[in-house]
Amino acid sequence: MHDKQVRRRRLVLLVLVVVSLVLLTDYFGESADSPLHSVQRGIVAVLSPVQEGASRVLAPVRDVANWVSGTLRAKTQRDQLQREVNALNARVAQLASQRIQNAQLTRELGLDQSIGAATYHPIGAAVISRDPSLWYQQVEVDRGSDDGVALNDPVLADGGLVGDVTTLNGSSAVVTLITDHSWAAAAEVLAGSGESGLLEPAVGSPNRMVLSELPSGASISVGQQVVTAGFTDPNHAGQGSLYPPGIPIGKVSDASQNGLVNQQQVKVAPLADLRRFESVQILTKPYAGQERAQAP
């Protein structure tokens, strides 16, 4: 009985496999208008309305499933796009930084040509640290005494004077900015008779300076450029300003008659954006051909 069942099972299996192979061979070898193809087309024609009806009936199921699938795919795409956005943001930031650096270097190059800074043996340096607070108006640069930098060397950036070297190491230097409360220099206005005075930071306004001790009756207007005076004391050889003459510092931002007449002072805005520059030029020989002024 068992053998009979086994034989029957194997026979049926063999028949099914043979029929499949015959169908496969015939269908594959025949042309498109063969009987097998015709039968297949006939069955498809019969089943087509059923398929169409089933498709309509089951459309909501399909839509829900596609919505779920689409949502999952959208989440994956969102994560991927977010990663791309992050990468592009980083790239944009890098390019913006390079653009700013490029503009600064371009201005420094222009400054070299306009004021003849090249004669003062400038060396380029990068800002490696910056005090984030307003308490200390200092930056640290990556050049030091090993590179020829000396104390009190003027430092230019972003088209104008930004400070001088106040602390020196072998490979780095600290630059005190012109807006630090301890900074002051003789400066003159590039207009009229070249009125000169003492330029120092404005109290309580870290990004504003005051040019004081101007002669009474001075004719100064807003927008005029203020540069270093670079004076020398004829009575005391080797003493005078730390800065060579003609280096741009800022522009007159407020020249009211009241200030000029009563206080003999005008307000000056620095040319350089003192919170943003990333590279500087240190004038290592500010008095090339002359004796170096002594620090006070």
Residues that bind other proteins (CB under 8 A): 8-9, 12-13, 16-17, 19-28, 36, 40-41, 43-44, 47, 50-51, 54-55, 58, 61-62, 65-66, 69, 73
CB of 23 to other proteins, least distance (A): 4
Identity of the residue, 24 or 96, whose beta carbon is nearer to other proteins in the bound complex? 24
CB of 61 to other proteins, least distance (A): 6
Identity of the residue, 69 or 167, whose beta carbon is nearer to other proteins in the bound complex? 69
CB of 87 to other proteins, least distance (A): 24
- Determine how β-strand 205-212 pairs with β-strand 225-228: unpaired
CB of 6 to other proteins, least distance (A): 10
Identity of the residue, 5 or 235, whose beta carbon is nearer to other proteins in the bound complex? 5
Q: How far apart are CA 274 and CA 138, in angstroms?
A: 10
Q: How far is CA 172 from the centre of its chain?
A: 24
Identity of the residue, 47 or 85, whose beta carbon is nearer to other proteins in the bound complex? 47
CB of 65 to other proteins, least distance (A): 4
Identity of the residue, 62 or 99, whose beta carbon is nearer to other proteins in the bound complex? 62
Give me Rg for the CA atoms of the chain.
Answer: 41
Plot region of 76 (φ>0 → left; ψ -120 to 50 → alpha; else → beta)? alpha
Contact predicate 155/165, CB 8 Å: yes
Identity of the residue, 1 or 237, whose beta carbon is nearer to other proteins in the bound complex? 1
CB of 70 to other proteins, least distance (A): 9
